[in-house]
Amino acid sequence: METVASASPVDLEKQYLFQNYARLPVVLARGKGSYVYDTAGKRYLDLIAGIGVNALGHGHPRLIKVIREQVGKMIHCSNLYYHEYQGPLAKRIAQASGMDRVFFCNSGTEAMEGALKIVRAHGRKLHAEKFETIALQDSFHGRTFGALSITGQEKYRRDFEPMLPGARFVPRNDIGALEQTVGPNTAGIVLEVVQGEGGIYPMTTAFVRKARELADRYNAILVFDETQCGVGRPGTYFAYQLLEPVVMPDVTVAAKPLACGIPLGFVAATESAASTIGAGQHGTTFGGNPLACRTALEFFDILDELLPNITNVGGYFRMRLTELAKRYSFIKEVRGYGLMIGVELEFPGKQIVLDCIEQGLLINCTHDIVLRALPP
């Protein structure tokens, strides 16, 4: 009989794991800076960075130092108690986001669940029919039932119907459709200021401003999902800060790079939106543990040093890609902000992703035809 030690990780996964991931043919072993190495020692330039998680690359010495220290002190303590790092991190996030209060969780989808509970609690306080949530076609908000219900991509929802009632979808940047859909029963409007999984599509300022205006007119909560487009990646703390003038949400959620691989997400909200959730109405076992929060504090310190340069580096990257687009007609468009970059092709990008792996480059393809780079 084959022993665990002799079986390849790929064979073991094929035999024992749910087959829900269409894995690419690489077994990664370690990383350093912007590079990762497979088990055979082959080096790859990592332009996808854990789909935006490894925003500081791999093995950052300052992260290693605080993680080592904190593991020795305390990894977890229950939310029954205070610890040293949730308060300072919440203050940091409040200052960066312009929100008043923060709730910590473990992932983007969980953060979205928290935001949806705020939307529901807000609507319910006003009247029983006020539970509709307006979201965008081609959006992605996560895999749990609430987040999935407002994810505007049929392929993710189809097999799990019926979803949470009250979700309605409008095409991105379609002001007319938004005006027609939002009404007295709208409890929340949820959008990604730059759609990630949907193909790196930025929202126009006019569209986001209209969402704000309609949310105010109908007393609904405006939620921005900054899980992929936020937390430094756009060259500002959050993508809504790119808009001129800035459009403020009532609630913003984020996750991915916050603790650089240690799971951490948050819901940040205005005083009024946060007050819809009373004591005992929401919570988590793992969310906001000392290890994740301390790592995130270090992440924010490092991000502050990097932030001024992100727009330049990302701009240079897009400029060079735009030069390629002039040479190759199969490149339809280069889009994005900061270090969130999409290259739309005339055909599916899967083969290019595989060819890049051969050449020692990790890149991803989203929405079938958009090559996506989320570099460290």
Q: Cα separation of 326 and 310, whole Å?
A: 24
Question: According to CB under 6 A, which one of 140, 237, 238, 299 is a site residue for ligand PLP?
Answer: 140
CB of 227 to ligand PLP, least distance (A): 4
* Nearest-angstrom CA–CA distance, 276 and 337: 33
Q: How far is the CB of 7 from ligand PLP (least distance, A)?
A: 29
Contact 171, 181 (CB under 8 A): no
Give helix 86-97 / helix 290-327 axis angle, nearest 10°: 30
Residue 228 interacts with ligand PLP (CB under 6 A)? yes
Region binding ligand PLP by CB under 6 A among candidate stretches 63-71, 127-135, 175-183, 220-228: 220-228
**Shortest CB 140 distance to ligand PLP, Å:** 5
Q: 113 vs 130, which CB is nearer to ligand PLP? A: 113
Q: Judged by CB, which is closer to ligand PLP: 255, or 296?
A: 255
The site map against ligand PLP for 31-70 (x = CB under 6 A) is --------------------x-------------------
Query: What is the CA 102 to chain-centroid distance, rounded?
Result: 17
**By the rule CB under 6 A, 298 interacts with ligand PLP:** no
SS in 3 state form for 59-96?
Answer: CCHHHHHHHHHHHHHCCCCCCCCCCCCHHHHHHHHHHH
**Window 180 to 209, contacts with ligand PLP (CB under 6 A):** 192, 196-197
CB of 49 to ligand PLP, least distance (A): 13
Would you tell me how many other CB atoms lie within 10 Å of the CB of residue 73?
Answer: 12
Find the radius of gyration of the CA atoms of the chain: 21
Q: How far is the C-alpha of 333 from the C-alpha of 42, rounded, in Å? A: 31
CB burial of 229-248 (b: ≥16 within 10 Å; e: otherwise) equals bbbbbbbbbbbbbbbeeebb
**Phi, psi at 323, each rounded to 5°:** -60, -40
Selected binder of ligand PLP within 255, 267, 268, 343 (CB under 6 A): 255
Per CB under 6 A, contacts with ligand PLP among 71-110 are 107-109
If we measure between CA atoms, which residue out of 278, 294, 279 comes closest to residue 67? 294
Based on CB atoms, which residue is closest to ligand PLP, 138 or 218?
A: 138
CA distance 226 to 59: 25
CA angle 120, 123, 128 (to 5 degrees): 105
Q: Which is nearer to ligand PLP, 108 or 188 (CB)?
A: 108
Interface with ligand PLP, residue 225, by CB under 6 A: yes
**Cβ 320 to ligand PLP, closest distance in Å?**
25
Q: Please count the residues of this chain forming the interface with ligand PLP, following the rule CB under 6 A.
A: 15
Cα separation, 33 vs 56, whole angstroms: 8
Considering only 142, 152, 257, 375, the residue that binds ligand PLP (CB under 6 A) is 142
Q: Binder to ligand PLP among 58, 60, 120, 141 (CB under 6 A)? A: 141
Q: How far is the CB of 194 from ligand PLP (least distance, A)?
A: 9
Residues of this chain that bind ligand PLP (CB under 6 A): 51, 107-109, 112, 140-142, 192, 196-197, 225, 227-228, 255
